[in-house]
Structure formats: C-alpha cells, structure tokens
A and B are shown apart, each in its own frame.
Chain A
Amino acid sequence: MANIISDETIEYVGILAKLELSDGEREQAKSDMGRMLDYIDKLGELDTTDVEPMSHVFPVQNVFREDVVTNGDDREQLLSNAPQEKNGMFMAPKTFE
C-alpha cells in the first residue's frame, strides 16, 4: 500500500468529519482510506495541465429571486422533529460554563 494513513491523520479526519471511532474502527478506517487513496492516485496518470476544473456540467450561474416569504408558520412541525426543544427553540447541550 503506497498511502500509509497515520494515527494523526485519522484523528484529524475524525475532527473534520465529526466522527468518533473506536480502536477497531480506527484501524479499519486507516486501511480502507489508504486503499481508496491508492486507487484514486490513478488519476495522477492523466496530464491535466491547463484543464479547467469542472464543478458543474452546465455553466450554472447564481439564480436570484426576491426575498419573499412563501411558506407559512411551521415552527411547531419543525420543532416536533427536534430531539429536545424548549420554549419554541431547539435545545442544544451547554457549550460553556
């Protein structure tokens, strides 16, 4: 395997991805990601000098519209999906003491 994923890298990816891995999962993830990157490295065979990266197939542009509210008041329904709510608001765990 050409790409060796270090403990530090997988720790960093865990922070970016907001995922917490068990020891077993971490080892599996290191090996899976290494193999995937080895495979993706195939793209390096192609010369892409002067090729414009293509994020969209069609030349999409910003689509503007007037900022007018079209939906009704659906706060109750939206909150009914929340794991915790209080006084008409989403409730999150404490972020500071």
Chain B
Amino acid sequence: MKITDMTAVQLSAAIKVGKATAVEAAEAVLSQIEREDKKYNCYVTVDREGALAQAKSVQEQIEAGTLTGPLAGVPVALKDNLCTEGLLTTCSSKILHNFVPTYTAAAVKNLKKAGAVILGKTNMDEFAMGSTTETSAYGPTKNPRNPEHVPGGSSGGSAAAVAAGECIYAIGSDTGGSIRQPASYCGVVGMKPTYGTVSRYGLIAYGSSLDQIGPLTKDVSDCATVLEVLASHDEKDSTSVARDDTDFTSALTEDVAGLRIGIPNDYLGEGLDGEVKTAVLQAAEALEKKGAIVERFDLSLVDYAIPAYYTIAAAEASSNLERFDGIKYGYRAKEYEGLHNMYKKSRSEGFGEEVKRRIMLGSFVLSSGYYDAYYLKALKVKALIKKAFDEAFAKYDIILGPVAPTTAPKLGESLTDPIQMYLGDIYTIAVNLAGLPGISVPCGQDGKGLPIGLQMIGDCFQEKKLIRAAYTYELCEKKF
C-alpha cells in the first residue's frame, strides 16, 4: 500500500514496526503535494524543510521509545486560521499576508506532543466566512473528486488535501458547518465536537461562541483517534470544558443495537436534492438493519436557524475583527491621512467583500437602537432552538440527516447571491448554535460522481454515540 493511501492509524502502525519511517512518510506526502497541488490549490503555505526536520526528530523519538501514540510520525495539514509559531498564518486574507505568530495554538501543541508532523497551512474562506473556499485571497481550492466543483468551505483546503492524498489527515474549524460540509463535498469524514471540547486558544476567532476545532480524516477510526488527541481542558480558553470522557477511540465498536435514531422531517423537505435524500435514507436503513430504531419526527424551528446564526456570527465577527487595525500586525495601507483614516483604509483594502459584508451587518445589529430588535432577538431564538434539540434528545440518541441540500456546486456559481449561499448551511448551522457535536460521513455519490455526506448529530458530550454509529455504518459500507 502506498503511504499516501494509508490512514493515520495504518501509517503509524507501519512506522512503529519499521515498515516505514516518519521521514519517508513526510517525503511521500510532500511529493504528492508537489505533483498535485498546482491542480487543487489546497495549501496556502507548504513548510517542506520544517516538515522534514520534524519528521527526523519524531523518528528518533519513536526509535527511542519515547513517542508511542497512534499519530506519531503521521503528516498533518492545518487550516490557516490556527496559529503556528514561526510559520505564516494568513486566514486566507490579504490583511494577514505577512503574519507570523509568536505562539502555537493549544490544539496544535497537543498534536505536536503526540508526534504529528506539520506539513503546512491549508486554504480556507477568508476568516472562515464562506461555504466554498472561493472567498480566499489566495485563489479558490478545487474539489479533487471533480476539479470543476468547489471543495466546500470554509475548511475546503483541509478537506481537499485529505481527499487528494496531500496529507494523511487535516485539522479544520467549524462555526456553522465549516468542517462537516467540506468533508461531505470531498467524500471524507469530518467532525465538530461539543463546544468547549477542544481549546480555541490560538484559533483566530470568527464567532467565538460557535467556533470549534475538529478533525478531517479518511475514516471514522482516524477521526476518533485525532479528536482524542485534540481534546483537552485549557485554562487559556475560558469556555474550555474539563471532560474525563475523551477516550473517543473506545467507542470504535460495531454496535448500534437499540440506538434510537430520529430523522427530522424538516431535514427532508423542499430544497433537498433527490439523490442526496435517497442516499441518506439508505444509510438510515443500513443502521436499522444493524439493530438501530429509526423514526421520523418534527424538529421545528429549522427555518429560523440561519437568520439567528448570521445575526450572532456577524455580531461576534464585527467585534473579533476589530483587532485588525494596521498597527500591531498585518497589512497597513500605503497612503492615508492620520490615524483614523489609516484604520479605515487598511481594513478596507485588507479585507475581502464577504468579510466586509459580515462586519457591517454585525456592526449594525449591535448598534444602539437595533441591538434589542436584532442581536438580542437572535439570542432568544437561539435559546428556543436549543430547547427544541433538548426535546429531541429526550426521545433519540442521534439525529440523522443530510449534511448539505446538494452535492458540491460548480466553481463560480455560489458567490453572486450571498443569501442563496447561506441557505446551503441549513442542516449544519443549528448544531453550532446549540453547541452540539456533529459528524459527516460519506454515504455514496450522485449521478455526476460527486460525494454525498451523511450527518449525525448528538446531544452535548455524546460524541461516543456518534462515533459508534458512524463506525458501524462505515463497516456496512465496506462490506458492499
């Protein structure tokens, strides 16, 4: 088996028994990047020398017996909104075109401790605002399954890199579906854990109450393995939750007997592509055959999730992105008159269209006179949405549905109508509002050969149920 075709678990096992070395693994993946990335543009930055140096050091530690974990020596790609000390971190924005962080994100530190070899930084929608990776200041990423189509977003570079064999696994962030949707479009596994499970320290903030870091991998075993390493309590992130149940790999068992699965009728209605619907219902049937109890139900409030989300996310973004002022780091306009004009010009020239659109909307909904009518109203609707999920999880262990209404659209078709693009997030977005864990697993392809994703949503802290169901489903698929 070629190294670039291996999963992380397979590769680390091969390295452990001496069938491969961490250096050979890094070299194999780096040459894949060299060959393929001109076509797909998965990466903003490839750190060839750094990766080879890390691989050499990790290999020595593996041989010395000090690194024994299941990610030791395995090359990983990081979304470009994760701070990496000494390595360019752009958020795919012009405003951070030259930003070199002085510290490393907590989640990345956890990976490094486990012996991960960092290949570089992947392309994304600018500041994670977008669903296609086309709002990047460094050109769009293309879907390796069909390069005329988008990879999804905002973690599109990470998902595409996994699908193209340009890394063994990747890390993304999910504010409204930004891990699950690109995973679905590219035919890989992606998971957003419960809010607070992975430290956000060093993740460049978009919507702080919604952002979570998570894995994009080739299969469910890798997903559980990577999440187990990412998760940790961190006093530098005040929303970090101390959990003692993050041994996610213990849930890799083939067992869904008696598991109660609910499919919201609201997730199968108007706007859902027929082929996607068929594939998702077939997946539910496969789980039913394995002993799960599958039912349809009405979740309610689904149509209110998108307007509530865009109000809250834009409000938080407008506040979080105030720090980009042309003084401490990043882009400063060449010509300006005085301090305030410098702020305005640097920001106007440094931010792209979608980012400016959301900053303006956010500033408006927080402004005096409109705060109650928009921002506060959205927070109240968020409370109602959370309650609807609480009621659903009183009856079901897992909510099952599609990740997105369609498969990957063609490049250039999405950005002309922002609201139309936002509607594509309808099945993923409520999960972030309610802080829930969600997983995206490939469940077939449409007539054009584009991958379809199955989404499973769990109650807070119930990742293990999702992993168990996803693992069981994956095993049924492999037997076909």
Contact = CB atoms under 8 A, between A and B. Distances in A.
B119 interface: no
Contacts of A18: 322, 325, 340, 343-344, 347
Given A43-B377, A54-B380, A90-B327, A29 B357 contact: yes
Contacts of A44: 377
B238 A63 contact: yes
Given A36-B361, A57-B386, A81-B330, A93 B348 contact: no
Contact of B367 (A13, A37, A71): A13
A49 to B, nearest CB: 9
Contact of B360 (A13, A62, A82): A13
B338 A93 contact: yes
Given A19-B356, A81-B330, A95-B338, A40 B374 contact: yes
Contact of A83 (B326, B363, B419): B326
B195 interface: yes
A25 B355 CA distance: 13
A51 B329 contact: no
B338 A17 contact: no
Nearest to B351: A19
A17 B359 contact: yes
Contacts of A95: 338-339
A94 B339 contact: yes
Given A81-B99, A81-B328, A93-B338, A20 B344 contact: yes
B359 to A, nearest CB: 5
B339 A93 contact: yes
A40 B360 contact: no
A58 B209 CA distance: 10
A69 interface: no
B281 interface: no
Contacts of A52: 380, 383
A37 to B, nearest CB: 8
A96 B98 CA distance: 29
Most buried by B among A10, A54, A80, A94: A54
Contact of A57 (B325, B418, B460): B460
Interface in A67-91: 71, 74, 77-78, 80-84, 90
A40 B460 CA distance: 27
B382 interface: yes
A21 B241 CA distance: 41
Given A43-B304, A54-B379, A54-B382, A16 B363 contact: yes
B378 interface: yes
Q: Interface centre among A41, A48, A80, by most B CB within 10 Å?
A: A48
A84 B331 CA distance: 11
Interface in B305-350: 306-308, 310-311, 318, 322, 325-332, 336, 338-345, 347-348
